[in-house]
């Protein structure tokens, strides 16, 4: 990245010269612009990787208005812009950050700070480009269909189309496997932020002591293990969408740290005193009952209010029977392609079996059942037999059999492992216990599992 091109935009020739010397000696290619018009022309023609933009072009102005205007014009080019402001004009800098600048430095600059900021911004922009590339690849590779034929799903679809282009925060509720993550992707795709990244954070998976570093990033040396600069998720999702998955699992002690950035729109990278402005749209999801958690004082009400501007509750699959047939057809197509099988049809007896099942694992379980059926079907038609749902249904509908508790526990775990096709994380979700709790029981009962 050292060969990146940097445009220095300043009306003061001495400043351009000093910056040019400093940055060329670091291996950057430099272009210069001395007035607003030149900045726009050079940016469009030379497509620099980064712009250092002075806020006051004409010497007699100090309002920074000129810089803000140029900033606005440069926005569509999606080039990281570092503002140069006079010492003490923090308000102007924050204003600039809100208008889309990536960072600011104060004149006279500290060499190390300036070089660090340039490095960091080039890295973020490079990661974003990569992310964009991956997303296009992913989109082309697996066009994930979004099936919604039932009344409740059509109502959700209508709401999503209306609110996706707004910046309203959305909270998605629903049982495991109902499609919360897919819906979050869909909202992002239909939003005005679709060109910027969607960054997901699994709130259940971040160790407490790394929470701030993960979200806000850190600078080298900020704490003992901080050997490198780290870019936080807020910065990675800049101008895009941040998806807080499993928000109900966010420990109470960490909730104030998240609340603060949601309330003020500002945060600090660990080890830096510079204030960053958050520009993200927030989507959160959980299968937990957040109101109940609030009443149990396990979730802060003020945080909930920040997240739930709009709430979408995805109903469980058993309550939207009209989606079963289109889902079955869509998954059969998908898995026939995946396993290079000629297109299979689904017999009416299989469809009615699918409609009768209670689907505790919702669409994820549904997808696994169809995948298995596609693999098992040799002829041209999937019948009820290949769905292998008998045992599950029989167990579900039978009255509870009186048996030793341990034996019942073992059976339940075996069933969950079978529904989840041996995937421990998913089986744990079906049983609503932690992954570690499930591992302990698998060991205890001697049930085989693949280590992940």
Ligand X SMILES: Nc1ncnc2c1ncn2[C@@H]1O[C@H](COP(=O)(O)OP(=O)(O)OP(=O)(O)O)[C@@H](O)[C@H]1O
Residues contributing to the site for ligand X (CB under 6 A): 144-148, 174, 176-182, 287, 363-364, 367, 429
- Nearest distance in Å: CB 245, Mg ion: 5
Residue whose beta carbon is closest to ligand X:
179
Is-contact 126 309, C-beta < 8 A? no
177 binds, among ligand X, Mg ion, none (CB under 5 to 8 A by kind): ligand X
- Rounded CA-CA distance 285/173 in Å is 6
Return the number of the residue (80 or 177) whose C-beta is nearest Mg ion: 177
- Nearest distance in Å: CB 285, ligand X: 6
- Nearest distance in Å: CB 136, ligand X: 18
Which residues, at least 6 apart from 58, have a Cβ–Cβ distance to it below 8 Å? 11, 66
188 binds, among Mg ion, ligand X, none (CB under 5 to 8 A by kind): none
- Rounded CA-CA distance 361/287 in Å is 12
Return the number of the residue (180 or 306) whose C-beta is nearest Mg ion: 180
- Nearest distance in Å: CB 164, ligand X: 15
- Nearest distance in Å: CB 147, ligand X: 4
Question: Which range in 179-187, 275-283, 298-306, 436-444 contacts Mg ion by CB under 5 A?
Answer: 179-187
- Figure out which of the listed residues 181, 249, 274, 355 binds Mg ion, where binding follows CB under 5 A: 181
Q: Which residues pair with 169 in a beta bridge?
A: none
364 binds, among Mg ion, ligand X, none (CB under 5 to 8 A by kind): ligand X
- Nearest distance in Å: CB 240, ligand X: 19
- Rounded CA-CA distance 50/12 in Å is 19
- Nearest distance in Å: CB 310, ligand X: 17
Smallest CA-to-CA distance from 262 within 171, 161, 154, 362 is with 171
Return the number of the residue (83 or 389) whose C-beta is nearest ligand X: 389
Return the number of the residue (104 or 243) whose C-beta is nearest ligand X: 243
- Nearest distance in Å: CB 96, ligand X: 37
Is-contact 182 230, C-beta < 8 A? no
- Nearest distance in Å: CB 247, Mg ion: 11
Return the number of the residue (148 or 187) whose C-beta is nearest ligand X: 148
Return the number of the residue (244 or 267) whose C-beta is nearest ligand X: 244
178 binds, among ligand X, Mg ion, none (CB under 5 to 8 A by kind): ligand X
213 binds, among Mg ion, ligand X, none (CB under 5 to 8 A by kind): none
Return the number of the residue (181 or 266) whose C-beta is nearest Mg ion: 181
Smallest CA-to-CA distance from 366 within 376, 355, 375 is with 355
């Amino acid at each position: 990245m050292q060969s990146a091109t940097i445009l220095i935009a300043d009306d003061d020739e001495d400043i351009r010269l000093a910056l040019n010397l400093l940055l060329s000696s670091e291996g950057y290619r430099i272009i210069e612009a001395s007035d607003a018009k030149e900045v726009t022309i050079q940016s469009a023609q030379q497509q620099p990787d980064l712009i250092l933009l002075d806020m006051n072009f004409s010497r007699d102005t100090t309002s920074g208005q000129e810089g803000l205007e140029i900033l606005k014009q440069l926005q569509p080019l999606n080039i990281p812009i570092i503002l140069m402001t006079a010492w003490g004009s923090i308000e102007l800098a924050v204003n600039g950050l809100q208008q889309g600048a990536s960072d600011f430095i104060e004149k006279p600059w500290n060499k190390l700070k300036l070089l660090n900021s340039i490095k960091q911004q080039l890295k973020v922009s490079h990661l974003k480009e990569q992310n964009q590339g991956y997303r296009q690849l992913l989109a082309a590779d697996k066009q994930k269909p979004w099936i919604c034929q039932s009344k409740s799903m059509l109502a959700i679809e209508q709401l999503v189309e209306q609110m996706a282009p707004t910046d309203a925060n959305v909270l998605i509720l629903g049982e495991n496997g109902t499609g919360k993550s897919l819906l979050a992707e869909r909202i992002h795709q239909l939003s005005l932020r679709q060109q910027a990244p969607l960054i997901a954070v699994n709130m259940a998976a971040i160790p407490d002591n790394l929470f701030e570093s993960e979200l806000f990033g850190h600078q080298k040396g900020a704490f003992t293990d901080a050997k490198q600069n780290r870019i936080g998720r807020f910065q990675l999702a800049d101008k895009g969408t941040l998806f807080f998955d499993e928000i109900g699992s966010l420990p109470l002690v960490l909730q104030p740290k998240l609340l603060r950035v949601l309330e003020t729109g500002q945060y600090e990278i660990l080890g830096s005193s510079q204030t960053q402005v958050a520009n993200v749209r927030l989507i959160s999801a959980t299968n937990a009952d957040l109101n109940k958690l609030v009443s149990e004082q396990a979730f802060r009400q003020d945080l909930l209010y920040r997240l739930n501007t709009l709430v979408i509750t995805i109903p469980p699959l058993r309550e939207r029977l009209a989606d079963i047939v289109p889902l079955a057809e869509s998954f059969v197509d998908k898995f026939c392609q995946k396993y290079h099988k000629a297109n299979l049809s689904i017999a009416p007896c299989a469809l009615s079996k699918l409609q009768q099942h209670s689907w505790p694992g919702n669409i994820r379980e549904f997808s696994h059942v169809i995948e298995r059926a596609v693999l098992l079907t040799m002829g041209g038609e999937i019948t009820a037999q290949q769905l292998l749902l008998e045992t599950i249904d029989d167990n579900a509908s039978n009255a509870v059999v009186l048996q030793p508790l341990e034996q019942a526990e073992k059976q339940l775990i075996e069933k969950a492992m079978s529904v989840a096709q041996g995937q421990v994380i998913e089986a744990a979700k079906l049983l609503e216990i932690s992954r570690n709790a499930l591992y302990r029981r698998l060991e205890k009962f001697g049930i085989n599992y693949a280590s992940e």
